[in-house]
């Protein structure tokens, strides 16, 4: 592939024909005519290309080199203070019919969406280089992987996409072979919050993003493609694109299970995906492997079981709170070859964030100003790290298995300070879909807006489902058929608080105790008590050896508050009605069944 780099004089005639696929060349030419860049680079994903881009960004201050002795080949990026998180209120789904986008999405007609975005893109790359990034979401040779091309004027995006996806020649070869790809057009624009939009055109497999350099808004392979567009693809092609981690659990007998779990952003997905078993479990021979920490694509395999791949190749994780005690595997992963975004730095240029629990002190905050705790935290609450998944000590080679891994259990969970117990199992698939559909969580700093407000976040997909949630629930229900061997569905709540406002469950590695019970339920070996909301374990059904729990903790974590759940299911009933006539009757019936059982 030809490439033009910014360390040579740009050509006045952009290099547009970098592919043997006429449709791709035509689209690149169309975008170049609209945005008018000084040069075009077809990215090949090579080490040499990456080194040139890193040098370019270091020269213009986009990237700041970190301490080479403590964090070799690692960099700090400081984004604009008004560009630090996903912007859900500026994110649109543009479908021909408004009802197809559903009340869960902001809608605009495709014509209006294109007009608005093309006006912003008009001439926006003058004086800049346009990068063309062919990429593959998932292993290059997996039948469940899907490809895309992102066009961007941000070398920071190129560097991050190189970590998060499979970019370059192999991806382009698959695109040329298949003749189809998701089109993603991005420009940082002026970084003006009033000129910032992220538009999705599911029917055209197209994304347009303008005015933001932040990961979730700019790395179009991530949430935009891998969830919003992919969920639309999955519905029509008979699979599931989900906001889920994937981890493997091997017991002392050598039996292996894989679990997919959906939590809202900043609710512990990465911590669970990289879990280190408690000491007693490690001595007994329990092992955890990490397939993915954020996104999961699943489909029925030849044997009827659901098989999953992680479409991403890297982690775009939340830095604050990551420490040797909370997630040692994540901490080990990011000691080299990492891009940090919006963290603080120490006097000797090491990355620093709240909760890192080391003996260092920050010198500069995430804005590059002298650290003043009274002014702002050292790291932004949504500060991130981007790193290859292969650097994780618990990384599973099965992440490259083109057929995916078989899923034994699906887990839903969010932040609930009250009512919801530590864990319960759904009665069947329909009940499990309702559990996921009704999932509630307190908001975090991963999105703009107020933090700590309880909202319904179905399957942790509220910001990410590319079509009407009612149709999405119907799609989930459609997998309940004779030729599919469905996994069990569970719900967890690591964040239940006691009367003193403190968390009752220790979490982190001790969450394996809950996963062990789930596997026992899958294998038919663990006990549970049936309640209207599902099957609950007692404290004696879990291995709690070495865990100190107060009487209140045992009562609350394993208890069932009937009156509280009456109110919850009244609320759930109203929530389901918000989606109108498309809401599947099976979920309404299930809600009524449980509500009646509570009275």
Cα separations in angstroms, 311 against 144, 372, 390, 535:
9, 40, 14, 32
Q: Is 368 annotated as a binding residue?
A: no
Please report, in tens digits, the pLDDT of each residue of the chain (599 residues total). Answer: 333 334 434 444 567 889 999 999 999 999 999 999 999 999 999 999 999 999 999 999 999 999 999 999 999 999 999 999 889 999 999 999 999 999 999 999 999 999 999 999 999 999 999 999 999 999 999 999 999 999 999 999 999 999 999 999 999 999 999 999 999 999 999 999 999 999 999 999 999 999 999 998 999 999 999 999 999 999 999 999 999 999 999 999 999 999 999 998 778 899 999 999 999 999 999 999 999 999 999 999 999 999 999 999 999 999 999 999 889 999 999 999 999 999 999 999 999 999 999 999 999 999 999 999 999 999 999 999 999 999 999 999 999 999 999 999 999 999 999 999 999 999 999 999 999 999 998 876 655 566 677 889 999 999 999 999 999 999 999 999 999 999 999 999 999 999 999 999 999 999 999 999 999 999 999 999 999 999 999 999 999 999 999 999 999 999 999 999 999 999 999 999 999 999 999 999 999 999 999 99
Distance CA 327, CA 293 (A): 13
Q: Is 184 annotated as a binding residue?
A: no
Domain with CATH 2.170.8.10 in the chain: 315-391
Catalytic pick among 124, 147, 267, 392: 267
Q: Is 294 annotated as a binding residue?
A: yes
CB 258 within 8 A of CB 515: no
- How many CA within 13 A on the CB side of residue 231? 30
Buried b (16+ CB within 10 A) or exposed e, 479-499: beeeebebbbbbbbbbbbebe
Taking alpha carbons only, the member of 83, 277, 37 closest to residue 195 is: 83
pLDDT of residue 450: 67
Distance CA 525, CA 494 (A): 23
CB 115 within 8 A of CB 148: no
CB 475 within 8 A of CB 489: no
Domain with CATH 3.40.449.10 in the chain: 22-67+82-238
User: How much is the CA Rg of the chain, to the nearest whole Å?
Assistant: 24
Distance CA 45, CA 170 (A): 10
Taking alpha carbons only, the member of 88, 107, 82, 86 closest to residue 96 is: 107
Q: Is 314 annotated as a binding residue?
A: no
**Separation of first and last alpha carbons in the chain:** 68
Q: What DSSP character marks residue 371?
A: P
Taking alpha carbons only, the member of 10, 20, 39, 16 closest to residue 29 is: 16
The total of other beta-carbon atoms located within 10 Å of residue 60's CB is 9
Q: Is 270 annotated as a binding residue?
A: yes
Checking DSSP bridges between strand 129-137 and strand 39-42, what pairing results, if any? Answer: parallel
- Contacts of 409 by beta carbon, 8 Å cutoff, 6+ apart: 257, 259, 260, 487, 488, 489, 490, 518, 519, 522
- Is the CATH number 3.50.50.60 carried by domain 315-391? no
Distance CA 421, CA 496 (A): 7
Distance CA 45, CA 50 (A): 7
Residue 492: φ, ψ to 5° = -125, 160
Distance CA 96, CA 202 (A): 10
Distance CA 208, CA 184 (A): 6
β-bridge partners, 346: 362
The total of other beta-carbon atoms located within 10 Å of residue 397's CB is 9
Q: Is 223 annotated as a binding residue?
A: yes
296 among known catalytic residues: no
CB 452 within 8 A of CB 501: no
Q: What angle do CA 571, 560, 576 make, to 5 degrees?
A: 20
Domain with CATH 3.90.228.20 in the chain: 242-312+396-597
Q: What number of residues does the chain have?
A: 599
Checking DSSP bridges between strand 182-187 and strand 206-210, what pairing results, if any? Answer: parallel
Q: Is 509 annotated as a binding residue?
A: yes
Residue 91: Cβ-neighbour burial (10 angstroms; 0-12, 13-18, 19+): buried
Distance CA 61, CA 68 (A): 17
- Select 242-312+396-597's CATH number: 3.20.20.20, 3.90.228.20, 3.30.470.20, 3.40.50.300: 3.90.228.20
Topology annotation, domain 22-67+82-238: Phosphoenolpyruvate Carboxykinase; domain 1 (3.40.449)
Q: Is 269 annotated as a binding residue?
A: yes
């Amino acid at each position: 592939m030809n490439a033009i780099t910014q360390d040579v004089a740009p050509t006045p005639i952009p290099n547009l024909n970098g592919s043997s696929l006429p449709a791709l060349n035509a689209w690149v030419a169309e975008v170049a005519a609209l945005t008018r860049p000084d040069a075009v680079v077809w990215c090949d994903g090579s080490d040499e290309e990456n080194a040139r881009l890193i040098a370019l960004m270091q020269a213009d201050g986009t990237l700041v080199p970190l301490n080479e002795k403590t964090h070799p080949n690692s960099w700090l990026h400081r984004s604009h203070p008004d560009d630090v998180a996903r912007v859900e209120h500026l994110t649109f789904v543009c479908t021909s019919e408004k009802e197809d986008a559903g009340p869960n999405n902001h809608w605009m007609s495709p014509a209006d969406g294109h007009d608005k975005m093309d006006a912003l893109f008009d001439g926006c790359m003058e004086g800049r280089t346009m990068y063309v990034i062919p990429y593959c979401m998932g292993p290059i040779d997996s039948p469940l992987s899907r490809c895309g091309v992102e066009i961007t004027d941000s070398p920071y995006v190129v560097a991050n996409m190189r970590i998060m996806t499979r970019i370059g020649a192999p991806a382009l070869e698959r695109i040329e072979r298949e003749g189809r790809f998701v089109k993603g057009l991005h420009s940082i624009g002026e970084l003006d919050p009033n000129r910032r939009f992220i538009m999705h055109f599911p029917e055209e497999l197209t994304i347009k993003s303008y005015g933001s350099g932040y990961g979730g808004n700019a790395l179009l392979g991530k949430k935009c493609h891998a969830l919003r567009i992919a969920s639309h693809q999955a519905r029509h092609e008979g699979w599931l694109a989900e906001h889920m981690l994937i981890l493997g659990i091997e017991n002392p007998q050598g039996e292996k299970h894989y679990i997919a779990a959906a939590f809202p952003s900043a609710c512990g997905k990465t911590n669970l995906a990289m879990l280190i078993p408690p000491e007693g479990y490690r001595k007994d021979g329990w092992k955890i492997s990490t397939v993915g920490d954020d996104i999961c694509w699943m489909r029925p395999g030849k044997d009827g079981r659901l098989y999953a791949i992680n479409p991403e190749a890297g982690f775009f994780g939340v830095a604050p709170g990551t420490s040797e005690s909370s997630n040692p595997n994540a901490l080990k992963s990011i000691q080299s070859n990492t891009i940090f975004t919006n963290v603080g730095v120490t006097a000797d240029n090491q990355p620093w964030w709240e909760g890192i629990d080391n003996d260092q002190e920050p010198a500069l905050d995430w804005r590059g100003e002298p650290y003043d705790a009274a002014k702002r935290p050292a790291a932004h609450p949504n500060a991130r790290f981007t790193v290859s998944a292969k650097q994780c000590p618990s990384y599973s080679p099965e992440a490259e298995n083109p057929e995916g891994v078989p899923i034994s259990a699906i887990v839903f969970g969010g932040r609930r300070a009250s009512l919801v117990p530590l864990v319960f199992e759904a009665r069947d698939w329909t009940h499990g879909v309702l559990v996921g559909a009704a999932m509630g969580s307190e908001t975090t700093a991963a999105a703009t807006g107020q933090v700590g407000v309880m909202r319904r976040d179905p399957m942790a997909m509220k910001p990410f489902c590319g079509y009407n949630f009612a149709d999405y629930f119907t799609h989930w229900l459609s997998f309940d058929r004779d030729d599919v061997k469905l996994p069990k569905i569970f719900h967890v709540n690591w964040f239940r608080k006691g009367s003193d406002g403190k968390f009752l469950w220790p979490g982190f590695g001790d969450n394996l105790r809950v996963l062990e019970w789930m596997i026992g339920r899958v294998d038919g070996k663990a006990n549970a008590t049936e309640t209207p909301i599902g099957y609950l374990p007692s404290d004696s059904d879990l291995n709690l050896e070495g865990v100190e729990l107060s009487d209140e903790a045992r009562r609350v974590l394993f208890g069932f508050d009937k009156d509280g759940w009456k109110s919850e299911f009244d609320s759930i009933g109203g929530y389901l009605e918000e989606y109108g006539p498309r809401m599947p009757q099976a979920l309404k019936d299930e809600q009524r069944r449980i509500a009646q059982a509570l009275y």
